[in-house]
Amino acid sequence: MWARVTSIGLKGMEGYRVNVEVGTYVGNDSFKIVGLPDAAVKESKERIIAALSSLGYVLSGNKIIINLSPADQKKIGPMFDFPMAIGLLLSLHEVEAVIPEDTGFLGALSLDGSVQPVEGLLPAVLAAKKQGIRRLYIPFDDHLPVLDFEGLEIIYVASLKDVIGHLAGQWVPSIFKKMDEVKVESSPYLDFQQIIGHAGAKHALEIAAAGEHHVLMTGPPGCGKSLLAESFPSILPVLTKEAQLEVLSLYQLSRNSYTQSQLPPFRSPHHSASWVAIIGGGQYPKPGEISLAHQGVLFLDEIGEFPRKTLDMLRQPLENGFITISRTHATITYPASFVLIAAMNPCPCGYAGSNAHYCTCSAKQIRAYQNRLSGPLRDRFDINLALRPVNLTSAAGIEQPGEPSRVVQERVKEARERQYDRYGGEISNSRVPYEVLLREKPLTGAQQSTLHQLAIKKNWSNRTQIKIIRLARTISDLQASSAITDQSISESITLNTV
């Protein structure tokens, strides 16, 4: 007459345990779902009735009440179809089995009783692992990677009939997908070797990749800003297994596909995109571009054309690595740890300071254009690059071919590993707390004195001084130096104050 099974609810990327409590009583035919269900959950009633009827189960003559606990959390989506159907069969004694509380069920139902994948299945599986679920029944999904977690047994099922048989001990499905041979994906990104010239800019981007520093590139149209930005992901290390699952989870929640699972994502929204598209939002907030760029790159071309309000909203995620979206129905936090690459022209016409074109902008127009980036946002760029056009004819004749991305990527990977070893976790120089940065490898007394004198002379803020130290630490890591060198400090000052 009463049964309870376990499922998982989602609140953004965070999951929580949901107890599906089912009571069946003799009485007039009725079927009620309570516990703050949304429209998709309320419609589960019809899907469950049809699915069970297709398997020969009769529900007439019963008053059915299903409570999704905790009752104060909004339940969204059809992923509760499957656990509600199992709970109903248990309460009717159609299935005689003892299901432990650490066994969970996730999936939607078709009218024929088959179990179907749902939006947010991957983040729900990751949440189940965190919630202490030890056995999980889910539908098979070709779009998911191999899910093999220590302490979590995943059982893939195709229909309710399969589950009923397995609970009765009559059928044992394959627990895991067969491990296919791991293939390294070919990179779709432009190779560094294909870019002519810009040796200094390439080196600066290598530093940015090694320490996850944000970069602002300024230069006239056609000087190579977009080309450099589009090649930047090619020198980033491939994603770890945990990072891959996190990125795929975000894409699932946003209903976007992401095929390059091993490679860091690259997002390049147009400047006409709304702030909701960039930051995320909606009645039930979905991830925006900054979350889809998590563990990868967000490229804002013509950043001066983006609305000021949208740009200032980037300040929190750039600082914290996550974004919190508050709405009437929910407050959701999504990860947003990315490298920001921004490009802009020096003035409205684009040719201020150019030797090849005449600038038609007044000093007032140039100042107004530059002020489209607020001071606090501009201050969050660790590297400032002033680019000039490359003479392709002369450069192609005298310049040696540059290094391929895979060579630069290897150096970046080694520099990252030095940082991970130093800080005891996957955290880079740009994100580690400042006190930890200095505690691990402090500056010498002479270096501190030099920086202090320069800060007074040039009127640097505390943030600028910290950025210089972070950059110097990354440059030293690329040089395999255990201490911050004087040369790295000098170079970091040049990169930050161009």
Instruction: Say if 186 falls within a structural domain.
Output: no
Q: Distance between alpha carbon 304 and the CA centroid of its chain, in Å? A: 25
Q: Say if residue 255 is in the same domain as residue 123.
A: no
Residue 176 has pLDDT above 70, yes or no: no
Q: What is the mean pLDDT of residues 384-405?
A: 73
What's the pLDDT band for 472 if we cut at 50, 70, 90?
very high
Structural domain for 102, as ranges:
2-167
Taking the C-alpha atoms of residue 59 and residue 56, their distance in angstroms, rounded to an integer, is 10
**Which tokens belong to 50?**
């049809």
Instruction: Say if 458 falls within a structural domain.
Output: no
Residue 454 has pLDDT above 80, yes or no: yes
Q: What is the mean pLDDT of residues 438-459?
A: 87
Q: Which pLDDT score is estimated for 408?
A: 94
Does residue 70 contact residue 107 with C-beta atoms inside 8 Å? no
Helices within 131-224 (DSSP H only)? 160-167, 199-211
Q: What is the mean pLDDT of residues 358-368?
A: 90
State which of 375, 401, 427 marks the end of a domain. 401
Q: Say if residue 214 is in the same domain as residue 316.
A: yes
Q: Which pLDDT score is estimated for 182?
A: 43
Taking the C-alpha atoms of residue 317 and residue 241, their distance in angstroms, rounded to an integer, is 23
What's the pLDDT band for 138 if we cut at 50, 70, 90?
very high
Q: Say if residue 150 is in the same domain as residue 222.
A: no
- CATH number, residue 334: 3.40.50.300
Instruction: Say if 397 falls within a structural domain.
Output: yes
Phi and psi torsions of 465, nearest 5°: -65, -40
Q: Which pLDDT score is estimated for 314?
A: 92
Q: Say if residue 135 is in the same domain as residue 258.
A: no
Q: Say if residue 214 is in the same domain as residue 143.
A: no
Q: Which pLDDT score is estimated for 172?
A: 55
Taking the C-alpha atoms of residue 445 and residue 303, their distance in angstroms, rounded to an integer, is 39
Residue 179 has pLDDT above 80, yes or no: no
Residue 119 has pLDDT above 50, yes or no: yes
Q: Which pLDDT score is estimated for 178?
A: 43
Q: Say if residue 161 is in the same domain as residue 229.
A: no
Q: Say if residue 199 is in the same domain as residue 347.
A: yes
Average pLDDT, the chain: 88
- CATH number, residue 74: 3.30.230.10
Q: Say if residue 293 is in the same domain as residue 393.
A: yes
Length of the chain: 498
Instruction: Say if 324 falls within a structural domain.
Output: yes
Task: Identify which of 449, 381, 20 has the alpha carbon closest to the alpha carbon of residue 204.
Answer: 381
pLDDT digits 0-9 by tens, 13-68: 888 999 999 999 887 888 999 999 989 999 999 999 999 999 998 888 889 999 99
Beta strands in 270-378 (DSSP E): 280-281, 286-287, 297-301, 322-326, 331-335, 339-344
* pTM of the shown model: 0.86
Instruction: Say if 184 falls within a structural domain.
Output: no
Q: Which pLDDT score is estimated for 438?
A: 83
Q: Which pLDDT score is estimated for 177?
A: 46
Instruction: Say if 236 falls within a structural domain.
Output: yes
Residue 460 has pLDDT above 90, yes or no: no
pLDDT digits 0-9 by tens, 185-207: 566 888 888 888 888 999 999 99
Describe the crossing of helices 44-54 and 81-91 by its angle, rounded to 10 degrees.
60
Instruction: Determine the 3-state secondary structure of 152 from DSSP.
Output: strand
Q: Which pLDDT score is estimated for 130?
A: 92
Task: Identify which of 416, 410, 424, 397 has the alpha carbon closest to the alpha carbon of residue 473.
Answer: 416
Residue 174 has pLDDT above 60, yes or no: no
What's the pLDDT band for 230 if we cut at 50, 70, 90?
very high
What's the pLDDT band for 180 if we cut at 50, 70, 90?
very low
Task: Identify which of 327, 428, 259, 325 has the alpha carbon closest to the alpha carbon of residue 13.
Answer: 325
Residue 421 has pLDDT above 90, yes or no: yes
Task: Identify which of 151, 164, 123 has the alpha carbon closest to the alpha carbon of residue 8.
Answer: 123
State the sign of the Cα–Cα–Cα–Cα dihedral 10, 11, 15, 17.
negative
Q: Which pLDDT score is estimated for 400?
A: 64
**Which tokens belong to 221?**
């149209």
Q: Distance between alpha carbon 123 and the CA centroid of its chain, in Å? A: 12
Q: Say if residue 247 is in the same domain as residue 371.
A: yes
Taking the C-alpha atoms of residue 206 and residue 411, their distance in angstroms, rounded to an integer, is 9
Q: Say if residue 107 is in the same domain as residue 222.
A: no
Q: Is beta strand 135-139 parallel, antiparallel or unpaired with respect to 115-116?
A: unpaired
Q: Which pLDDT score is estimated for 413?
A: 95
Q: What is the mean pLDDT of residues 352-361?
A: 82
Taking the C-alpha atoms of residue 70 and residue 35, their distance in angstroms, rounded to an integer, is 7
Q: Say if residue 238 is in the same domain as residue 132.
A: no
Give the Cα-Cα-Cα angle 128, 337, 498 (nearest 5 degrees).
Answer: 175
Q: Which pLDDT score is estimated for 175?
A: 42
Q: What is the mean pLDDT of residues 281-288?
A: 85
Instruction: Say if 376 falls within a structural domain.
Output: yes
Distances (CA, A) of 177 to 144, 167, 252: 10, 20, 20
Q: What is the mean pLDDT of residues 84-110?
A: 92
Taking the C-alpha atoms of residue 247 and residue 118, their distance in angstroms, rounded to an integer, is 17
Describe the crossing of helices 445-458 and 486-496 by its angle, rounded to 10 degrees.
20
State which of 362, 385, 401 marks the end of a domain. 401
State which of 342, 377, 401 marks the end of a domain. 401
Taking the C-alpha atoms of residue 210 and residue 65, their distance in angstroms, rounded to an integer, is 56
What's the pLDDT band for 474 if we cut at 50, 70, 90?
very high
Residue 401 has pLDDT above 70, yes or no: no
**Which tokens belong to 156?**
């893939």
Q: Which pLDDT score is estimated for 285?
A: 85
Q: Among 183-197, 284-298, 343-357, 444-458, where is mean pLDDT lowest?
A: 183-197
- Count of structural domains within the chain: 2
Q: Say if residue 157 is in the same domain as residue 200.
A: no
Residue 222 has pLDDT above 70, yes or no: yes
Distances (CA, A) of 104 to 133, 250, 446: 7, 22, 60
Contacts of 314 (CB under 8 A, 6+ apart): 278, 279, 290, 340, 377
Q: Which pLDDT score is estimated for 181?
A: 42
Q: Which pLDDT score is estimated for 91?
A: 92
